[in-house]
Chain A
Amino acid sequence: MPYQVLAFATGPRRHGNSETLLDWVLADMAGEPDIAVEKIALDEVTVHPCRGCNACEVLNKCVQRDDMDNIHDKIIAADCILFATPIYCLGICAEGKALVDRAQVFRSRKYVLKLPVVPPERLGKRLGIFIASAGQNWDIVFDGAKLSIKCFFHVTEIRDRDIHYLLVRGVDKAGEVQTHPTAREEARATAKRAVERLREMNR
C-alpha cells in the first residue's frame, strides 16, 4: 500500500504563498510511485475552534460534530502529515489554530486517558512537515507558530526529530513566493527528504 500523505492548507487566501509551497512539495512527492496524496483546504471544510470544555478527557472524543470527525480519522491513518499556514501576527492563522486546537482530543487520549493514538507498530514511523510563509524577514517570525505545531505533531504521535520544516520569509504579496530565489528548490529538497525518510522509517 502506498504511503498516505495528508496535507492541510490552512490559510484563508486560497493558492497564496504557503499553499503554493505546499503544492510544490505535494507535486514532487506525488511523482513517486509509493506515495498517495490527499490535500484538504480548511477554507472548504468546517473545523470549529475548540470550546475548551475538556469533555474529551472523559469521552475520548470531541462533543462537536463537524468535518473534524472525518479529519480525525485521516490524521490517524496518515503516514505523513503536512501543515501549511501563512504567518499572521507572528503566529499560525486563526483557521489553522482552530485545527491545531481540535487536536486536543489526541492529547486527552494520549496523556489523560493513556490510550494509543495510533497502533503501536506505527509509532516512530510517522512524519510531519510544517510549511509556513511570512511577510516579515525577522529571525523570530516562525518561533511562536513552531511551538504550537510541535504540540500538534507530538499529540498525533509524530516525534520531534520526525518533523521537517519548510519556512520562507519575506513573501507577503499574493504569488510572491513564485519569484523567491530559493523557495522552489527548498520545496523540492523537502519533498525528496520526506520520501526518503518515509521509506527509511518503514523499512
Chain B
Amino acid sequence: MDPEREPVKVLGISGSPHRHGNTETLLDAFLDGAKEAGGETDKLVLKSARYTACQGCNACHKSGACIIEDDLVPLFDRILAVDALALASPIYTMGITAEMKGFLDRAQYLWARKYLLKTMYFTREHIQRHKGVFISTAGTGWEHVFSGAFPIMTAFFDITGFEYYDNVIANDMDRWKGIRNHPTALADAAVKGRKVVEEIARLRVGGSPGGEPAPQTR
C-alpha cells in the first residue's frame, strides 16, 4: 500500500492497576476519537503484561540491548512502529504509577542507543509525524497535580522519537465522583484523539505542522 494511505496507527498504553477506572476510560475515549478519524487503534494494559523494572545495570550502555527478557522488549518494538502513542496513567502521589514508571524506565536501552552509542536516530520529519500524548486523571483539584508527570513524559517521548504533542488530563476526580460525571473530559479526549490522527495524516501528504486540519473523511 502507498505509505500515505496506510491508516495512522495509534497505540494506547494503560498504566493503571485499576481496570476500567477513570484514566483508562479517558484513554478509551481518546482511542475512540482516533478510530473515528480513521486511525488503527490498539490498547495495551500494563497490568496484564509480564515485566520487571529496570535494574540499573547499565549493560545497555555498551550493548544497546536490555538484558531482561520479558514482555517489554517486543512492546518497545511495537512502540517504535506506531504513529501515535498515548501513555495513560493516573496520578499517584504527584507522579505516574509504579507500573507505568517501571515500564518507562526500561527505555534506558533506547536512550543508550540514541545518546551514547548513536546507533538510533530520528529525523526532524519523523519526530513531527510521530505524536506522543499523555493521558491522566487525578483525584485532587490542585492545578499543579500533573507537574511531576510532565518531565517524565518529555524524557520518554524524546527517547522514542515522538513529538510530545498533547495532554489529555482531568483533575478533581474526587469531587466529580469519577470521569463519567466530568462535564467535558471524555468529549475533549475524543476530539483530541481525532485531531492527532488528522494531523499525522495531513503531515504525511506534505501539510505544514499545526496548519488547518484536513477535511474529515468518513
Contacts and interface: CB of A to CB of B under 8 A. Distances in A.
A193 interface: no
B105 A93 contact: yes
B156 A148 contact: no
B94 A151 contact: yes
B152 A91 contact: yes
Contact of B55 (A13, A98, A174): A13
Contacts of B55: 12-13
B93 A12 contact: no
Interface in B126-166: 144, 147-152, 154-156
A52 B16 contact: yes
Interface residues of A, number: 37
Given A90-B151, A91-B148, A147 B94 contact: yes
A90 B155 contact: yes
Contacts of B44: none
B205 interface: no
A150 B95 CA distance: 11
B57 interface: yes
B97 interface: yes
Given A12-B55, A89-B152, A97-B101, A148 B17 contact: no
Contacts of B54: 12, 88, 93-94
A45 to B, nearest CB: 15
Given A89-B105, A90-B151, A100-B93, A49 B99 contact: yes
Contact of B152 (A12, A50, A144, A174): A144
A9 interface: no
Contacts of B90: 52
Contacts of A104: 92-93
A16 B18 contact: no
A93 B56 contact: yes
B26 interface: no
Contacts of B149: 144
A11 B54 CA distance: 10
Contacts of A13: 55-57
B73 interface: no
B92 A173 contact: no
Interface of B: 16-18, 21, 53-58, 90, 92-99, 101-102, 104-105, 107-108, 144, 147-152, 154-156
Given A51-B17, A147-B95, 7 more contacts: A52-B17, A52-B92, A89-B104, A94-B53, A97-B92, A101-B92, A172-B58
